[in-house]
Structure 1
Amino acid sequence: MAWRRQGRLFDAETMLPHHPQLRSHAANPLAVNLEGDLYRVFFSARNSANRSSVGAVDVDVARRKVERVLSEPVIAHGPEGRFDADGISVGCLHKDATGARYILFMGWQAPNNGHWRGDIGRLRLGDDLSLTPDPAGPYIESDTIDPISLSYPWVHRTVDGYLMWYGSTLTWDEGNGEMLHVLREARSEDGINWRRDGKTLPYFPGIAQAFSRPTVAQDSQGVLQMWYSFRGAPGKTYRIGHAVRRPGGEWGLQHLEGGLDVAHEGWDSEMVEYPFVFDHDGQRLMLYNGNGFGRSGFGLAVWEE
């Protein structure tokens, strides 16, 4: 099993619109089908102060071609003092029992006198593909189980409710100069009220201790597959890892077996990160970022058994 690269779809250094909130990066791509092979891809772009807002492009995934670049942000980062004042990093698309669609995200705070941190927010995705905060404050915030910082969520529908995997910081320094930021699981019957029990996916200090942006798919046998960004000790850059959970079992991390390593050269030769996996026309596809945490844009890969 392996991902076959299809090349870069969107070059953020040359294709971003000339807008002050969308000066650089196209991180955390998320695809929403418009019709046929056409998808609206939302992403997080930055202004000159490194605060991220949400931009979008329309991509034909069959032709591997950008058809339209939206000239303005779909939604900008929050005002000073709000939990997303320093940025919106796109997470996952979630549909509740009523059919309402939401995009969950990481809201950044970077106080002048403290360490950056995050909480999880929620945006209502309108029929016109507009994005509106819902609620205006954090959707899920730090508590006694996750007291430091939260990041990118992924929500998965089950027969009796919902599962969520999300990032949680356990310490800013695991003793080797790198944070310990793990993936945890939460459950909900209604997609609104979540129960967190502190259950953590495996991690390995020095090898895989800083995780981000899980994306999960399920096959016909009930097997869950997860892809995620991971890195180890300081100086190590992101790679895309792979984990599998069979019915009744626990997650087993396979890292680069079924994941994605850097390319030999080019836009994704230094790092690969922030995967978004989705199925289209009988194929499993992955959008992902490359060098510079999305500064170089995003590309496409195809899953081959």
Structure 2
Amino acid sequence: MATRNTKRRKDWILLLWPFAFFAATELLAQTPPVASLDQRPQPWVRRTKPILSARTTKQDWCRIVVDSPHVIHHDGRFYMWYLGTSEASRSNNIVMGYATSDDGLQWDEHPGNPVLTGDDVPWGQIIQTPFVIYDDGTKRFRMWFVSGDGVKHDAQRKIIGNDQKLGYATSVDGIKWDVHPEPLFPAGRSPSVTRVANAYRMWMGSRPKFDEITGGLYRNIYEFSSNDGLQWTRSKQPVLQPSGPAKSVVYPFVIRHANSWYMWYGCHIDGGRFELFCAKSTDGTKWNADHDRPAFPASKGKELFDSRYTSTPCIVQLPNRLLLYYSARDWQTEYIDAEGRKRHDGSSVYAQIGLAELTLKEE
């Protein structure tokens, strides 16, 4: 009997071996390569399909736009705040949703979305570029975001206003937010905040002159400092501006790794594309940028969801690896608006959120 059972186990091993080998090979093929952040492009392993999409969501508030993800990892779970609308691709009616995940890949959209709208902001209409941290001291989520009246056009579609200010809110659960009654800074786009000892540092797009209407907000990234996260002082000069093929610098996201600072940000480049670049600094103030080589370019081939834009980076730091969440555009320029009309957006639509992973080597 023992001999028969032993033979049966051997038969099962031989039968299952090809499947085990195939599974191991597939896992190996999907394992991100060990990398340095100084490589160009950085060897991110990206998923070929979005993790959230306006084209597949079952929620009715974000059927046209889904973008600007901000993700944190807290108490073993992943939390995401992201933006969307079902009105039009260039709508000022942008609102914020919330989702959770156990693995950072499969997401559960909150059934009560959206969780923050312009009605919740006493001084603004739009919701843009949220950045969230969890404060262990206060047991609160703290969010810096951008709001205001947004972009205004005249009858000829010329931009006559672009009101974007830095806002602040807190939350116990990440769902219900208490918004600060006044803006924190008069001109801002995409804050990236980090706490250093008992103070705060922030990098954000801002206008050199607050009364400018366009342009400067997308070409100048400044460094800010604060003792409490509310009162901010801006550097006298921008710390990053366009150069070479880069026509803009916007959406900074900064982390500290291996005694250096790294800033991912987006740039408009030739061909109607927008790609992510990465600058490095020893102190977070003086940055070395390479605008000839993107760190995370758009995918090649127009059939992929991120083949035109890789934008609004959000980096999640985990042991020995990084996750990159980003907004994406493909080359599809036609869509149906909230009134059922066929519309055209020559720059395509921010309709999807992507994910990529990078395993770091010890430095």
Q: TM-score, normalised by structure 1?
A: 0.82
The aligned counterpart of 1:141 is 185
- Residue 81 of structure 1, CA deviation: 9.2
The answer for the alignment partner of 2:281 in structure 1 is: 245
Question: What SS does structure 1 have at the residue aligned with 2:266?
Answer: strand
Matches within 5 A, 1:221-300: 221=259, 223-232=260-269, 236-247=272-283, 250-255=286-291, 257=293, 259-265=295-301, 266-291=304-329, 295-300=350-355
Q: Which has the larger radius of gyration?
A: 2
- The change in CA–CA distance for 1:258 and 1:60 in structure 2 (over 3 A counts) is farther
Whose strand fraction is larger, Structure 1's or Structure 2's?
A: 1
Question: Would you identify which runs of 4 or more consecutive aligned residues in structure 1 move more than 6 Å?
Answer: none
Post-superposition offset of 1:134: 2.7
Aligned counterpart in structure 1 of residue 240 of structure 2, from 186, 194, 202: 202
1:274 shift after superposition: 0.4
SS at match of 2:71: strand
* Partner residue, 2:163: 117
* Secondary structure of the corresponding residue to residue 238 of structure 1: strand
Q: Which runs of 5+ in 1 are unaligned?
A: 143-148
Contact 2:129/2:189 (8 A) holds in 1: no
Correspondence list, 1:150-229, <5 A: 150-170=188-208, 180-204=218-242, 207-221=245-259, 223-229=260-266
Residue 94 of structure 2, aligned match among 52, 73, 76: 52
Match of 2:117 among 74, 77, 88: 77
Contact 1:156/1:164 (8 A) holds in 2: yes
Q: Which runs of 5+ in 2 are unaligned?
A: 1-38, 155-159, 331-347
1:256 deviates by: 6.5
User: Shift in Å at residue 96 of structure 1?
Assistant: 5.3
For this pair of structures, how many residues does the alignment match? 287
Counterpart residue number, 1:10: 51
Do 1:242 and 1:256's aligned partners in 2 also have CA atoms closer than 8 Å?
no
State how far apart, in whole Å, the 2-side matches of 1:30 and 1:199 are: 27
Q: Which moved more, 1:164-173 or 1:260-269?
A: 164-173
Structure 1 counterpart of 2:131: 92
CA distance in 1, matches of 2:123, 2:245: 31
Secondary structure at the aligned position of 1:79 is classed as: helix
Amino acid across the alignment from 2:169: L
Contact 2:69 2:326 in 1 (8 A): yes
Is the CA contact (8 Å cut-off) linking 1:242 and 1:257 kept in structure 2? no
Compute the TM-score of the two structures, normalised by the length of structure 2.
0.70
> CA separation of 1:14/1:180 partners in 2, compared to 1, >3 Å: closer, same or farther?
closer
> What amino acid is the match of 1:93?
V
Question: What residue identity is the alignment partner of 2:87?
Answer: S
